[in-house]
Structure 1
Amino acid sequence: MRKKYIMALLCLTIGAGLAAGCGRAETVDDSVALVTATPSPTGTPTVTPSATPTSTPEETPTEAPKSESTLPEGQMYSYLTGEPIDTAAGSRRPIAIMINNLQPAVPQSGINQADLLYEIEVEGNITRLMAVFQDPSNIGKIGPVRSARPYFVYFAMDNEAVYSHYGWSQQAQDLITSQNMEDINGMTAGGFYRSEDRKAPHNVYVAGSSLTSDADSLGYNRAYPEGYAPNLAFNTTDTDISGEVANTVHIPFKYDDPYFVFNTEDRQYYRYEYGSEHIDQETGEQLKFKNIIVQYVSEWHLDDNVHLDMNLFTSGTGVFFTDGKAIPITWEKADQNDNTEYFDSNGNKIMLNPGKTMFEICSDKNSASWS
């Protein structure tokens, strides 16, 4: 599946770049923050690591595409969640926004309403989030918002999203500006503001309605391209997979130590980090997901031994979790014009269950564990 607008003359590897592009007011030595704020979580469940399934489980057969005719008039299946949604909202391209995930920035606001959530390491072993909203217009407060990194841009492109951020690293700036990408930079957009209850750089927020109005004022086309084929595929209804038991899933990030616990009642994975529930400040609700995709990528440090580079234009391995089970997967992205696609061990595109999905993009030098 190809993108409708082509990005040419890019290198096959991308780098995190320098953080100077965020502006002096946004500069923060994240490597120092790691040394001074390394958490000591408590209460983490004990699990028996099982990074690689001991046998190849039988895969659930790939379902045929859903028929829109099964839905009431005026509804469609969301390209992001596979759930019914009003056609007016589901036909609009989503907005992806960078979210601060340092310990002083939690709990965050608005992210429990994201349809997709990505977590990737940046400098000093810390992670940053990218929340993807099909329609953020009714969300009153989103943030704290942080600066762009180039590899997040490519995952935003996987979903045809307008990309929003507050500042950027030098390489992210070069990528976005040279390709004339549709982005919303909070340092120049009018709707972003600083709250008084937190210190900079952990206090930049925006209302969802401001994001949509900024996209409109910048002249961005919010409609999906004609003939758009969604990046993700979904079952029509909740469908079990045949895999290893995965009631607790640990993600190999050192700083926030994220993990998920499967709830058998609502069949959702509840997220934890920093040793406690990962909640949304505005609602008090814990983040939960129907699907988790762990994607292993080759990454390395640049010459400054701080910023990261990673290869996304290749193929690799990963793990897919849903309904308390895990199966091994592979992923492919041929080049910058391609979308990241995920396949089971039989070579079929994996079918996600309807609901929210968490993407954990991890170094291939480490492994998730589950039990």
Structure 2
Amino acid sequence: MNSRIFIIEMFIFLFTAVFLTNCQSPPAPHTSNPSPTNQPTATQTPTETQTVPQTAVSTPAPSPTAIPAATQIILTPPPTPVPTIEGLIGPNTFPENINPLTGISMDEASLGRRPLAIKISNAPPIVRPQAGLNQADLVFEHVAEGGFTRFTAVFYTHDVERVGSIRSARLIDLEIPKMYDAAFAYSGSAGPVRLRLQDSEFYDRIISPDFAHGGFERIEIEGVAPTHTLFTNTYNLRHILGLREQDVAPNFANYMTFRDSPITQGEPATRIELWYGATNATWFYGNGRYLRWTDGETHLDANTSTQLSFKNIVVVAANHVDTDIFEDTNNNPSIEIQIWGTGPVSIFRDGQRFNGSWKRDHPNHMLTFYDSIGNPLPLSPGNTFFQIVPLGFDQLNVTP
């Protein structure tokens, strides 16, 4: 009997030991600690304006027209948050009936056609007065070479019977048509510039004798060399664009801002003078507009015999780089004016000066303007004249 009890007790003991052993968690398998993964440092993290991670910098980015829509969202920075400001038009949205280049109402038919960027001479003085500048929505003046300047005028609101005289393109004209989804008309160009224009995303919108296109005429002017007698008109240019099915509504990638009155008080500025080297421009403010003199002479529009008159004068400072392209027989280099990224700006409107920064984050963006804390600097509704100058430009003189 005792031996039977002993056997039962041993059986219970062994069963309990096995049961407790099986209830314990198995030991974790031994693995060596993995080496830390290479985490990007703070300086490696792409900023909002970077479009690709640093590991892909060596890979050429595709042109904007070849990028799928989903990728374009990555390339284009998100809209800058704008505080609610009463009376402000733009920059992230724009009323349907308002011209984004002037901030003024415009009929639907005109809004449905493409802006025209046209290259216009400003040297030698015999080419003045030019035809059509007062009818342009925007005019850009920039250094060509030798201290002389040239204009690119953008026409959207008005059709014009005569524009010119027409001159040759410069490297800056690879940028301006993209900014406003515009067509581009000019006379000719240096070989390397022509190749870049031919490879541009807006080649189908170029109209030029450079590519044996029509739409231009020589108008003989007594005492003026034939070089300075080429003219066009917006009707011819639009007819040619229509044949190509290119005279369609522009696709603006962003907008400037406009407001009837400035947001803050600026510095008094009734006289503006810029010395480019071989020519100078002077603007006097009166009756709500700036009137222009060039090289001491009243600067007129040949079509109307009226003085050049603009609501806004915008002095944009950008990096100027001499290239290995020669523009003339004097071996003057073609200048690359880098109107992309950001830089200093002075906006003159309503007899006042407002300093801030210009910004252009994407090839298809217009220039936009901000104060020192990032609030928009609105233009006065109306036409605008851009004076493009080099960084560090010290020949801007302003009189209160």
Superposition TM-score, scaled by structure 2 size: 0.71
Say whether the 8 Å CA contact 1:149–1:171 is kept in structure 2: no
1:201 corresponds, among 227, 251, 255, to 227
Measure, in 2, the Cα distance between the counterparts of 1:341 and 1:316: 11
Q: 1:8 to 1:333 in 2, by over 3 A?
A: farther
Aligned-partner SS, 1:171: helix
- Which residue of 2 is the match for residue 53 of structure 1? none
Q: 1:337 to 1:136 in 2, by over 3 A?
A: closer
CA deviations 1:261-280 (Å, max 9, x no partner) are 000xx210001102111101
Deviation at 1:253, TM superposition (A): 1.3
**2:386 aligned with 1:369:** no
- Which residue of 1 is the match for residue 243 of structure 2? 217
Deviation at 1:254, TM superposition (A): 2.0
CA deviations 1:83-106 (Å, max 9, x no partner) are 111111023221010000011211
The one-letter code sitting in structure 2 at the alignment partner of 1:349 is P
2:375 corresponds, among 345, 348, 354, to 348
**2:387 aligned with 1:329:** no
- Which residue of 1 is the match for residue 169 of structure 2? 148
Percent of residue pairs bearing the same amino acid type: 27
Say whether the 8 Å CA contact 1:231–1:341 is kept in structure 2: yes
Aligned-partner SS, 1:216: helix
- Which has the larger displacement, 297-306 or 167-176? 297-306
If asked which structure has higher relative contact order (CA below 8 Å, sep 6+), I would say 1
Aligned-partner SS, 2:176: helix
- Which residue of 1 is the match for residue 344 of structure 2? 317
Measure, in 1, the Cα distance between the counterparts of 2:255 and 2:174: 15
The one-letter code sitting in structure 2 at the alignment partner of 1:202 is H
Unaligned runs of 5+ in 1: 10-59
**2:99 aligned with 1:78:** yes
- Which residue of 2 is the match for residue 131 of structure 1? 153
Q: 1:8 to 1:82 in 2, by over 3 A?
A: same
Aligned-partner SS, 1:205: strand
Measure, in 2, the Cα distance between the counterparts of 1:326 and 1:186: 41
Measure, in 1, the Cα distance between the counterparts of 2:364 and 2:249: 19
Superposition TM-score, scaled by structure 1 size: 0.76
RMSD between aligned residues: 2.7
Q: 1:128 to 1:254 in 2, by over 3 A?
A: same
Deviation at 1:229, TM superposition (A): 4.9
CA deviations 1:177-209 (Å, max 9, x no partner) are 113422111452222011111322110001221
Unaligned runs of 5+ in 2: 1-48, 52-62, 68-83, 325-330
Q: How does 1:1-371 map to 2 (within 5 A)?
A: 6=64, 63-65=87-89, 76-102=97-123, 103-137=125-159, 139-181=160-202, 182-187=205-210, 188-197=212-221, 198-225=224-251, 228-235=252-259, 237-239=260-262, 241-263=264-286, 266-303=287-324, 306-367=333-394, 368-371=396-399
Deviation at 1:224, TM superposition (A): 2.1
Q: 1:314 to 1:192 in 2, by over 3 A?
A: same
Deviation at 1:354, TM superposition (A): 0.8
Q: 1:8 to 1:129 in 2, by over 3 A?
A: farther
Measure, in 1, the Cα distance between the counterparts of 2:290 and 2:105: 21
Measure, in 2, the Cα distance between the counterparts of 1:322 and 1:241: 12
CA deviations 1:43-70 (Å, max 9, x no partner) are xxxxxxxxxxxxxxxxx9574447xxxx
Instruction: Select the structure that is richer in helix.
Output: 2
Q: 1:223 to 1:61 in 2, by over 3 A?
A: closer
User: In the comparison of the two structures, how many residue pairs are matched?
Assistant: 307
Say whether the 8 Å CA contact 2:290–2:309 is kept in structure 1: yes
Measure, in 2, the Cα distance between the counterparts of 1:135 and 1:64: 21
The one-letter code sitting in structure 1 at the alignment partner of 2:283 is F
Measure, in 2, the Cα distance between the counterparts of 1:336 and 1:199: 37
